[in-house]
Amino acid sequence: MPELQELPEDYTFQAYGILLLENKHRLVKKLKKHHTPSIHGHKTWNSSFLLMDYFLHTQLLHSKQKVLELGCGWGPTSIFCAHHAGCKVTGTDLDEEVLPFLELQAALNLVEVDTKVISFDKLTKKMMSSYDIIFGADICFWDNLADIHYNLINRAKRAGVGHILLADPGRQPFFDLAERVIAKHECELLDWYCHEPEYFEGYILHITL
């Protein structure tokens, strides 16, 4: 993996203290010759930055916490948690083809993120019981995912996870999920915005133990 100072400046950008790569970056283009992400894992999604901003404002993250990202994709929020707070981070995704892009960006930021290929419905109560925080960004984009995430949140709550956070630009499946979760759990649905790498508005569902 190249050292940070060797990387070209073209097609890179910074947000919330980490360095990320655009699709046209030469290392991303090189990876794409061997890996073809599916399930929308082809770029960094804006709701990731909502979570970064929220974590900074709420100071939820602390060193030595174990945190789990759902549908991590290229992993910007996982990388942020490891870089900003020294958390022990695991990124999960159904598509193993996205993980080399996460690993590239993690190495670029000199952090380590563990990875696991698994679907949302296969994350058991036992698997989630060791995590302090579970989060996901832009992962409720199909109608059937509202049911899947609702069941996952219930399992995570029974597992004793202290904080569960989902960020979204405001898709209908996300609002359907939020309505069901609010009726059952202690939580907040928050309007939120971020200002890096550009202004973006969305929503954060924050469920607490």
Q: Which two tokens stand for residue 185?
A: 């759990």
Chain position carrying tokens 């090189």: 30
What is residue 170's predicted lDDT score, i.e. its pLDDT? Answer: 97
**In this predicted model, which residue has the larger pLDDT, 77 or 5?**
77
Query: Could you tell me the fold of the domain covering 4-208?
Result: Rossmann fold (3.40.50)
Q: What is the pLDDT of residues 64-120, one digit of tens each?
A: 899 999 999 999 999 999 999 999 999 999 999 999 999 999 999 999 999 999 999
For the chain, the structural domain boundaries read 4-208
Q: Is the pLDDT of residue 189 over 60?
A: yes
Neighbours of 159 (CB within 10 A): 18
Q: How confident is the model at residue 42 (pLDDT cuts 50, 70, 90)?
A: low
- Predicted pLDDT at 2: 43
Mean pLDDT of 158-169: 98
Nearest to 46 by CA among 192, 172, 180: 192
Question: Identity (one letter) of the amino acid at 164?
Answer: I
pLDDT band for position 5 (cuts 50, 70, 90) = very low
**Paired strand residues for 168:** 203
The whole-angstrom separation of Cα 162 and Cα 156 is 9
CB 37 within 8 A of CB 101: yes
Calpha distance 71→119 (Å, rounded): 8
**If you search the block for the tokens 């630009």, which residue do you land on?**
169
Is residue 41's pLDDT more than 70? no
Q: Distance of CA 20 to CAs 68, 104, 166, Å?
A: 20, 10, 21
Token duo for residue 47: 């709701």
Distances (CA, A) of 179 to 54, 60, 147: 21, 24, 12
To the question of pTM greater than 0.85 for the whole model, the response is yes
State the average pLDDT for the chain.
93
